[in-house]
A and B are shown apart, each in its own frame.
Chain A
């Protein structure tokens, strides 16, 4: 019994111990679970907060997004507005220069008719006065030319017709061109140019303009009995990106004139900058010559420099790339184009030109007819977006389509639509409307020969040259439809 009870005692003890351990484990795990629960709860609420925060952030982002797209929209509007204003400015400059030149031509011819005695004898003093008036008119017309050039350069509408130019010949001709002004101021001109100087790759008119601007200044700022030296030499420059050498021709025009003070040398190429106001009146320049020369040189890929010492004289030099068989700019109607023109003569094109201004539309009409494309209809299209304008346009398109046979068929005819502003929203609206109208009129765009030419903005004074419009016509009128039917 005793032994058994001892054993029992052990067993009981073991059981109690096991139970205890079990209870302990249970209690522990219960506690742990509670703690976990609690932690979970905390985490949960934390997550909730984060989610709320995220939501808030998202709302904020959406708001920012809205704001951004609003800003973008506004920027877009402003860009369009700027583009419109810029065009307006260019048209204004071209209009003003045209309007100014005509009365200038009248004044000049009127004065000259009297000055040269065509209309009767006059005395020497009278002649002197009238000749001064002619000089004044000449200066005014130069100023207008300069302003027009600056406007072209600034708006990026400068066009260069580059080809190989014999620069030696051009420079050697200066002696003859400047004969009278040189004699008047007793200035000697030395042209130190070797005949074998390489040709340059340049627009010959612009090059002449650069040289003239520098020469005019040299003459203007030279004292009596001064000396002007014109030089030309080759120059090698290492290309930035590789090890090839680029060859340039450097032209220098130096004078023995007043010289330019150091502090003014940097500003001399600025627009309207003139050395010392006391000289301005005396020299009678526009203050644009050097700025134009600089832009023209840079447009050719060259550079312009000045070195000058006060009281001793100045030297302006510029570089131009040597002609190395570069492809020359086309600027004349070639034989194949001529053939194209002749073929066109037997076809009957129907061209609808949509233009913002009647003047531009008129210019297009004339230009197209010059390359044998008959323009039957054109329209003054102001304010693309307006519904009333679109309605008018519809009628115009319908009219255009129906015109030849009074039925909705374009038979042997081809319809060309020129829509310069098609990049803009207004232009797109017009484009859509034209397509709709054509479809409504029963014209199957795919089967018929209709071309919609879009995206050409241009200015009257920068009107296309013949070869450019020809290229446009060839690209668009040959037998491949640019536009397929939109279903």
Chain B
């Protein structure tokens, strides 16, 4: 069965392209465009992995991740955080909020795919 990946990014183009990339590599995809949607989608569909952008309106990625990891039914879903590498501490904050891995934008698709593969093992 195909693994299901939830893609969370408020930039519609990035979201769409991540969808194309993931589908081309044999994954099923779901999309969310803000933090609240992400939590809803996660609860509803229980994806196998979540790709989570940091800077989003309303609720940012760190907060989404923290809430996911506090929820006993969701905390085992691996989360890869994607952040524009502006904030120096972003990697540390990703770790504190419980993210399983971290990648900065613009990212290399190969690197992202490798991280996904490792986490889905």
A residues with CB within 8 A of B: 94, 97-98, 101-102, 104-106, 108-110, 112-113, 118-119, 137, 141, 145, 148, 159, 331-333, 362, 366-367, 369-371, 460-468
Known A148-B86, A370-B62, A463-B89: A105·B106 in contact at CB below 8 Å: yes
Within 8 Å CB of B87, what residues of A? Answer: 460-463
A-B contact pairs, 9 of them (CB 8 A): A101-B86, A102-B11, A106-B13, A109-B109, A159-B88, A331-B92, A332-B92, A370-B96, A463-B88
Assess the A109–B62 pair: CB atoms within 8 A.
no
Q: CA A145 – CA B106 in complex, angstroms?
A: 11
Q: CA A468 – CA B55 in complex, angstroms?
A: 21
Assess the A109–B60 pair: CB atoms within 8 A.
no
Residue of A nearest to B97 (CB): A370
Q: CA A369 – CA B69 in complex, angstroms?
A: 13
Within 8 Å CB of A94, what residues of B? Answer: 86
How far in angstroms is the closest Cβ of chain A from B77?
A: 19
Within 8 Å CB of A462, what residues of B? Answer: 87-88
B75 at the interface (CB under 8 A from A): no
Assess the B63–A369 pair: CB atoms within 8 A.
yes
Within 8 Å CB of A110, what residues of B? Answer: 13, 17
Cβ < 8 Å to A, chain B residues 63-90: 63, 66, 84-89
B24 at the interface (CB under 8 A from A): yes
Within 8 Å CB of B97, what residues of A? Answer: 370
Known A113-B21, A137-B106, A370-B62: A101·B85 in contact at CB below 8 Å: yes
Task: Write the B19-50 contact mask toward A (1 if CB under 8 angstroms, else 0).
Answer: 01100100000000000000000000000000
8 A-B pairs with least C-beta separation: A465-B89, A105-B106, A118-B24, A466-B96, A105-B105, A461-B86, A106-B13, A101-B84
Assess the A113–B17 pair: CB atoms within 8 A.
yes
Known A102-B11, A102-B105, A106-B11: A366·B88 in contact at CB below 8 Å: no
Q: CA A463 – CA B85 in complex, angstroms?
A: 12
Q: CA A390 – CA B117 in complex, angstroms?
A: 54
Assess the B63–A366 pair: CB atoms within 8 A.
yes
Q: CA A370 – CA B89 in complex, angstroms?
A: 13
Residue of B nearest to A337 (CB): B96
Assess the B106–A109 pair: CB atoms within 8 A.
yes
Assess the A370–B21 pair: CB atoms within 8 A.
no
How far in angstroms is the closest Cβ of chain A from B17?
A: 5
